[in-house]
Structure 1
Amino acid sequence: MRTLDQWFDEYAVSHQNPVNKKIHYICVPAIFFSILGLLMCIPSAIISNTLSLNSPLIENWAAIVLVLLLLFYIRLSVVMALKIAVFAFLCLFANFYIGQFVNLLLVSVGVFAVAWIGQFYGHHIEGKKPSFINDLQFLLIGPAWVIQNLFATKKQ
């Protein structure tokens, strides 16, 4: 099993160009956000009837998927899992809020499409194919890599 640093090292190989990196810093969180929005749009009567927590932030498919996703991150790093959990909660809250005013499905589909176009444009600039082409697990590594890079402390 690879460590988180090994995943990051392999992911970084196709993310060297500064423009591609900046695009990823925007598009990867946008894709994560939009996927949670899409999952929140799936009817959740089964979950609501089973859990009966009366909380739309918890009783939806996005929350269920996040629990499974966090198990993947916990295996790699508890600290990273906590960072992802905080970001995911913010995404859930924002999606819930957006859904109160506009059609969340349409917003999520739009953000998803534009963000993926950005991703592929970034890889066109980079001249390398996306990492997930070789291993789908890189779709889960991308958000952690962005969080790691955006919030890394500068070394003196």
Structure 2
Amino acid sequence: MKTLVDQLSVYQAFHRNKWNVVTHYFGIPSIIFGLFIALGWLRFSIGGFDVSAAMIFFLVTLIYYFMLDFSFALGMLIVVGFLLYVSEIFAVRGIYASLTICLVTFIGGWILQFIGHLFEGRQPAFFLNLTQLLIGPLYLWAKFIYFIGIRRAEKLRIIELSKNY
């Protein structure tokens, strides 16, 4: 399995343009929110608890994040966990009540992503490796952490390694 630095280096290589990164700060959460609403329509009971496919997807993704980096995974637990919480509010109302918000956020998020890559002049990272779809949210968290001055050496290493892609 690739390390956090390896994964973020690949993602960084496809996200050097600041406007591309800005569109991702809006597009990625929108896509996640829309996806969580749609997955939230698929519900079942486990041990008497109401569970959605969105919850299962989030749990599996979170396990992967913990395998990459414990502290970053905690950040994702909070941020993406909040998106899951809010999406569940919409999803439990049913498809007809939440279809519009699901489609607008999901499709709108993808439109923002591709607009960003027009600025970048390069295809999205997931065209190279589908795992990069899971790295996108983690990359945004990493950009925030590095921006506030935490893990500076790691940031510099990622930038240096990204030149190989």
- TM-score band, normalised by shorter chain: 0.7 to 0.9
TM-score normalised by structure 2 residue count? 0.81
1:136 aligns with: 130
Structure 2: how far apart are the matches of 1:51 and 1:108? 28
Structure 1: how far apart are the matches of 2:83 and 2:47? 21
Structure 2: how far apart are the matches of 1:96 and 1:63? 9
Secondary structure of the structure 2 residue equivalent to 1:103 = helix
Letter in 1 for 2:143: N
How many pairs does the alignment contain? 148
CA contact 2:37–2:90 (8 Å) conserved in 1? no
Among 89, 105, 113, the residue aligned to 1:119 = 113
Letter in 1 for 2:149: K
Among 39, 47, 51, the residue aligned to 2:47 = 51
2:162 aligns with: none
CA contact 2:29–2:137 (8 Å) conserved in 1? yes
1:83 aligns with: 75
1:27 aligns with: 27
Q: CA deviation at 1:89?
A: 2.0
Whether 1:66 aligns to 2:58 is yes
Structure in which a larger fraction of residues adopt strand: 2
Letter in 1 for 2:126: F
Amino-acid identity (%): 27
User: What are structure 2's unaligned runs of at least 5 residues?
Assistant: 153-165
Can you list the C-alpha shifts for 1:50-80, whole angstroms capped at 9, x where unaligned?
3212xx5xx1111111111112111101112
User: What are structure 1's unaligned runs of at least 5 residues?
Assistant: none
TM-score normalised by structure 1 residue count? 0.85
2:16 aligns with: 16
Q: CA RMSD in A?
A: 2.0
2:144 aligns with: 150
Structure 2: how far apart are the matches of 1:154 and 1:79? 15
